[in-house]
Amino acid sequence: MKEKTVALAGGSGFIGRTIVRRLAAAPALKLRVLSRNPEKARAQLWESHAEFVAADISDPDSLRTALEGADAVIDSIQFDGYPIENPRRGLTFDRIDLGGVLALIAAAKAARLTQFIYISGAAADETSSHPAFRAKGRAERAIRESELDYTIFRPSLVYGPEDAVVNSFVKLLKYAPVFGVPGTGRQKVQPVLVDDLAECVALALEGRGHNGTYEVGGPDLMTFDDLIRTLMDASGHRRPIVHIPAGLMRGFGALAEKLPSPLLSRDAVTFVTADNACDIAPLVAEFGVKLTPARVGMRYLAKK
Ligand SMILES: NC(=O)c1ccc[n+]([C@@H]2O[C@H](COP(=O)([O-])OP(=O)(O)OC[C@H]3O[C@@H](n4cnc5c(N)ncnc54)[C@H](OP(=O)(O)O)[C@@H]3O)[C@@H](O)[C@H]2O)c1
């Protein structure tokens, strides 16, 4: 079998690292991780035997060099501080999510690479008024119209031992007297184990899901409150849930946006109070994956 070179933009991130580790086990694949800090990425992923190259999504020349000789690219990038935009530092959905995909498509075409795999997000919608969902929707359209072979994955909340979100929730459950849920707590979420997503990416590289867009969630559709209760069960840290009205949080967000490095924004409140439900039937039919139930996938939280 011909050896295939796979470039991973965002390969040093939470989802990217799991994909790299999964692909490292595949024969006939050469892996190339693109990072702004390749030495740091190498230290995290030394066992993968990947190549680590310097590349910044906002530097088209670095992307062109990084993709030379590659056959496929996986885009799993998100900006530092996500989902709180910081326009002063150029950290926005438009610039990094959408602009990054456009730059990668151009570099992919220059390198005559044929396959583009994109980690988009649930609720991606180019007509949305929310910058995150709109940027992902526009990025998806650019990929579909690029004439590259593509597979697009739209995950709901992705969790795993190295994630940022679920781990920070469990830390709060451990140390805070109550758990503050943004909004009503009725917003839908369908947490998916990162290894299940990585498995689908590996299958896509083999041709599964060709020119398709797939929502990716776990088998359990739950409310945000249910998610927190599941985390309490898994971790053993039980706290009362308190709902923080979205309007109040948006008020704090508006004030925080005036700071040089905001820790909250109005759009971030909308982002965390939005529904993230998925139709997983097409994914299961095409990829044949057995999605891990949350109570099984979250067992690692017992040690936290
Ligand atoms: N985590 C979730 O629950 C979830 C759910 C749905 C969708 N997604 C989507 O999945 C993708 C990956 O998410 P994640 O949670 O794995 O993110 P993450 O852990 O924050 O990783 C972000 C990655 O982006 C890279 N990056 C950031 N800015 C860059 C730039 N200017 N140039 C090049 N690389 C840059 C980082 O690489 P270096 O720092 O090494 O340069 C890092 O590898 C994102 O598109 C996200 O929207 C995530």
- Residue 176: which of 245, 246, 244 has the closest Cα? 244
5 lines ligand 1 (CB under 6 A): no
Mean pLDDT score, 42-50: 95
Q: Which pLDDT does position 303 carry in this prediction?
A: 77
- Ligand 1 mean position, distance from CA 1 (Å): 31
DSSP assignment of the chain equals ---EEEEEETTTSHHHHHHHHHHHTSTTEEEEEEESSHHHHHHHHGGGT-EEEE--TT-HHHHHHHHTT-SEEEE----TTTTS-BGGGTB-IIIIIIHHHHHHHHHHHHTT--EEEEE--TT--TT-SSHHHHHHHHHHHHHHTS-SEEEEEEESSEE-TT-SHHHHHHHHHHHSSSEEEETTS--EE--EEHHHHHHHHHHHHTTTTTTEEEEE--S--EEHHHHHHHHHHHH-----EEEEPHHHHHHHHHHHTTSSS-S--HHHHHHHHS-B----HHHHHHH---PPPHHHHTGGGGG-
Q: Is the pLDDT of residue 185 over 80?
A: yes
Segment 170-178 shows an average pLDDT of 96
Mutate to test the pocket of ligand 1, among 37, 78, 215 (most ligand atoms within 8 A of CB): 78
Q: What is the mean pLDDT of the chain?
A: 96
Share of the chain above pLDDT 90, in %: 94
Tens digit of pLDDT for each residue in 220-273? 999 999 999 999 999 999 999 999 999 999 999 999 999 988 889 998 899 899
| Domain ranges for the chain | 4-163+191-217+277-291
- pTM score, whole prediction: 0.96
Residue 79 tokens, joined? 């900006």
Which architecture does CATH list for 4-163+191-217+277-291? 3-Layer(aba) Sandwich (3.40)
> Percent of the chain scored above 70 by pLDDT?
99
Ligand 1 lined by 10 (C-beta under 6 Å): yes
Is the beta carbon of 66 within 6 A of some atom in ligand 1?
Answer: no
Helix axes 99-110 and 131-144, enclosed angle (nearest 10): 20
Is residue 1 very low, low, confident or very high in pLDDT (cuts 50, 70, 90)?
A: low
